[in-house]
Amino acid sequence: MSAPEHIAGQTVHARRGALKHAFRYGVDYVLIDPESPLHPRLFSRNHFNLFAVHDRDHGGVRDAGRGAVWAREALKSAGLSEGYSLRLLTQPAFLGFSFNPVSFWLACREGALVAVIAEVNNTFGDRHNYLCHLADFAPISATDVITARKVFHVSPFQEIKGGYSFGFAIHADRIAIRILHDNGTEGLIATLTGARRPLTNGSILRATLRRPFGALRTLILIYAQALRLKVKGARYRPRPAPPKDSLSAPNMPHTPSAKEVQS
């Protein structure tokens, strides 16, 4: 078991294409062992507190999640069944209110990252999960790029076309995550960066004073940026039905068979 950590980080979003738009905000994430009871007094698991993480908010059906149980089942179905530790990187609920544009389930083996589940939520109440790993669950380095087809409606100002490129640099003292939505000349670049430090009562109080309202602030900022895009003339696309499958596998590079090589 490991003690929870606090990432007082920054997120940057930059729209690509003819209509340019970008913003940068400070954001508070926690990195926790979702199966550990260790936590400071002002942080709780599955209980009301100033900061909290609830299983119902993660892992499976939105608002009816099963937490780490779901994540381990999903990883086992993909071929990773044992010998790894599991962490959840997420924005905590603030005084009971929770909203996460994206959280990350991190699976590590012998200290190396081997799989990530990017748990993506939109403002329409939907969720989809993108599984990221290399062939045979080889260690994921900071230079590796994992791709997946975009299948989920996130921003109403972006099409469900093209694909994602994920990059993960999970170091002992810092995290850096990069997601590129590539849709020809259009798309979006999103990053999350920050130092890893112990989650303490003091860090929670400082975060509350520096960025009050936590997850509610995040939602308000999302709507504010949507309004700015609308004023700029971005086309609004109504919400389609979410994909039937809740988990997408990565696009694995093709390795030619012996027969293909000979031909």
pLDDT digits (tens, 9 = 90+) for 168-184: 999 999 999 999 999 99
What average pLDDT does the segment 227-231 reach?
A: 95
In a domain, 198, yes or no: yes
Could you tell me if 181 and 261 are in contact, meaning their C-beta atoms sit under 8 angstroms apart?
no
Q: Which domain holds residue 153?
A: 5-234
Per-residue pLDDT tens over the stretch 113-168: 999 999 999 999 999 999 999 999 999 999 999 999 999 999 999 999 999 999 99
Burial of 47 (0-12, 13-18, 19+ CB in 10 A): exposed
Q: Helix (H, G, I), strand (E, B), or coil: what is residue 221?
A: helix
pLDDT at residue number 262: 42
What average pLDDT does the segment 71-81 reach?
A: 96
Q: In which band, very low, low, confident or very high, does the pLDDT at 253 lie, cut at 50, 70 and 90?
A: low
Residue with tokens 């997850």: 215
How many separate domains does the chain show? 1
In a domain, 18, yes or no: yes
pLDDT at residue number 38: 86
Sign of CA dihedral 15, 16, 21, 24: positive
In a domain, 101, yes or no: yes
In a domain, 134, yes or no: yes
Q: Single out the residue of 137, 128, 142, 157 nearest to residue 243, CA to CA.
A: 128
Helix then strand count (H, E) for the chain reads 4, 15
Tokens of residue 137, six digits: 């669950």
Could you tell me if 117 and 104 are in contact, meaning their C-beta atoms sit under 8 angstroms apart?
yes
In a domain, 257, yes or no: no
Q: Report angle CA 169, 107, 94 to the nearest 5 degrees.
A: 80
Could you tell me if 198 and 206 are in contact, meaning their C-beta atoms sit under 8 angstroms apart?
no
Compute CA 52 distance to the chain's CA centroid, rounded to the nearest angstrom.
17
In a domain, 208, yes or no: yes
pTM score of the predicted model = 0.93
In a domain, 20, yes or no: yes
Residue with tokens 């599991």: 86
Could you tell me if 4 and 199 are in contact, meaning their C-beta atoms sit under 8 angstroms apart?
yes
How, if at all, do strands 174-183 and 163-170 pair? antiparallel
In a domain, 241, yes or no: no
